[in-house]
Amino acid sequence: MRRSFTPVGVLLVLALFSHVPRLIKGSSPCKRANSAAIRPHSVSITEFGAVGDGVTLNTKAFQNAIFYLNSFADKGGAKLFVPAGQWLTGSFDLISHLTLWLDKDAVILGSTNSDDWPVVDPLPSYGRGRELPGKRHRSLIYGRNLTDVVITGDNGTIDGQGSNWWNWFHTKTLNYTRPHLVELMNSSGIVISNLTFINSPFWTIHPVYCSQVIVQNVTIRAPLDSPNTDGIDPDSSDDVCIEDCYISTGDDLIAIKSGWDEYGISYARPCRNIIIRRLVGQTRTSAGIAIGSEMSGGVSEVHAENIQFYNSNTGIRIKTSPGRGGYVRDIYISNITLTDVKIAIRFTGHYGEHPDEHYDPEALPTVERITIEDIAGDNIQYAGILEGIEGDSFLNICLSNITLNITSKSPWNCSYIQGYSDSVSPETCEPLRESISPYHYSDCYNLSSHLLNSSNQNRGTWFLSW
């Protein structure tokens, strides 16, 4: 059969496929982690005098063991084995080419004495502690400038024993920002898998300025009313994979970040190529997946799919503010199931919270090319509260194949946004009611093939039939 090519048809096809190759050819950071890789050298923490009674402080034992294993870093690496027991410790450093392995009944307990969590400088992309001006407490498990680090086991537990920190936060008796449970800085080749993390003093897992990070098959829990106990926060990092996780905490389950106002703009380290899939969880106060609010270095190429959130405040949220600068672009979220969630989709353009008075209120963020599709929700109060910034509208917001059972009489509230929609129930707000047509595919990031095929069938001969 001879094909007919009209000028308009050719231009549409070229526009469509000029957008597709980088999505298809981009390398995925997800791969099945070989967390059981054999290290040629292995020791048990008990060989360094550690006592797993939940009372004896084992900080020195962890430090000495890792210092000893450092001599094997250039000989294939080493494994530190933590057997069954309750191993109380303060903060300790990891090294490159190390596997930290927790046995099934092993529990690493964070000390309840704040003196066992050293005070360190703030992150340069934040300029100060996230909660208080000045410095911050170092995480329980910490590492910087590392490569090839595995934190894994047979579903052992790392318990931050965060209740003291939460009380100090509520009573405003802290001198420095609370510590994370695990923080890795300026590192690459990181695998965190097959473990349970509970009761973090602050954010739970925080890779910052990192590359090639896999967080796989972990459970993260903290009381639903615990303050700011985020689950996993990729921060100014690239090539990050988060998959097969269950998270139930007092703040965002996943929060993607890249620095805070003028400090993040100056540091200029974006967060990009983030894959999130097969995630289940709940948060009564915050969002299942959040971007921001600290996003001044930029966030792009985030793909999330096969997600279930229940008993939560918000499903998907983007948070930013004048003064942030930076950008959030090329975000694709699909195949989401929501149950008993207050707000399915929320964009907040005036989140506020600035590190100091030196931020530039004219540094406006760019939010564009956000595609959300294949969403089902039951007992949802609001479908969307989408609030951009006057004079800085959020652009090319594309919603497709969304069906929500809404309890509110006003399902959508939108301002300063622009975009398109297709098959959204209840009907979306006026700025998004223009149907997604072939002319919009270059605007709608990574729009799925089922909508493409539907457009081909229902909208005539714009697409070439091969």
> What is the CB-side half-sphere exposure of residue 338 using CA atoms within 13 A?
34
CA–CA dist 185, 188 (Å, integer): 9
CA–CA dist 189, 178 (Å, integer): 26
CA–CA dist 148, 187 (Å, integer): 8
CA–CA dist 173, 199 (Å, integer): 19
H or E element at residue 262 = helix 261-267
Question: What φ, ψ does residue 356 adopt, rounded to 5°?
Answer: -165, -175
C-beta separation of 315 from 288 below 8 A: yes
How many other CB atoms sit within 10 Å of the CB of residue 161?
16
How many other CB atoms sit within 10 Å of the CB of residue 343?
21
CA–CA dist 65, 43 (Å, integer): 8
- Amino acid type, 292: G
C-beta separation of 277 from 243 below 8 A: yes
Q: 3-class DSSP state for residue 222?
A: coil
Catalytic residue of the set 148, 230, 239, 251:
251
Which residue shows structure tokens 């990891």? 94
Active site residue 230: no
CA–CA dist 230, 251 (Å, integer): 5
Instruction: DSSP letter for 160, please.
Output: -
What the block records as the tokens of 116 is: 């066992």
Instruction: Please name every residue paired with 463 in a beta bridge, in sequence order, or none if there are none.
Output: none
Which residues are tagged catalytic? 251
